[in-house]
Structure 1
Amino acid sequence: MNMVRLVEIENRIRQFPIAEQLWLVERVAQHIREQLAAESSLEAQLAAMAADPNIQRELREIEKEFDVAMSDGLELQ
């Protein structure tokens, strides 16, 4: 979003009564907290998967399957 659009939104918000501005700010803050929590949760899930011995074993097996293709002499681009 460009700055002109953001300033336009800000100017419109300033026209609202203070109670409605406060309500809007609280809603935006809640939305941001929820997004951060979801991202943190996803990162935790990915870290748990990376540490899982079963996942690590599966990744090693997949890597072995591709070893033949990697040794064919072709360069990756």
Structure 2
Amino acid sequence: MKQTATTEADYAIVVEPLDEADGGGWLATVPALPGCLGDGETRAEALTDALAAIEEWKDAARQLGREVPGPAALGQWRQRVPRTLHDKLRRLAAAEGVSLNQLVVSLLAEAVGRRAA
């Protein structure tokens, strides 16, 4: 079986809004890599920053002789939504410069974070 190297895009990234008291903007964390995060004024900026941080995190771990964890397994489900909702989500994702999947993960993480607080 052919094995492929993992890339920064293989890691799950959670993007959440920061409170105004914390400076506002967005925070992107990489659960599989403790302490690995990115931030930005927009979701897209935070995601881009986190992608760069993944490579830096992995390089630092290697230099310290530490193991680099692989991407955690991602949960998956299929959800049917009304066409109008799908269209609104697709447009919002395009405006944010992220994939539809990344936008939905971010929105779900925000809602769960609010409910848990």
TM class by shorter chain equals 0.3 to 0.5
TM-score (norm 2): 0.23
TM-score (norm 1): 0.33
Q: State the structure with bigger RCO (CA 8 A, min sep 6), 1 or 2.
A: 2
Higher share of residues assigned helix: 1
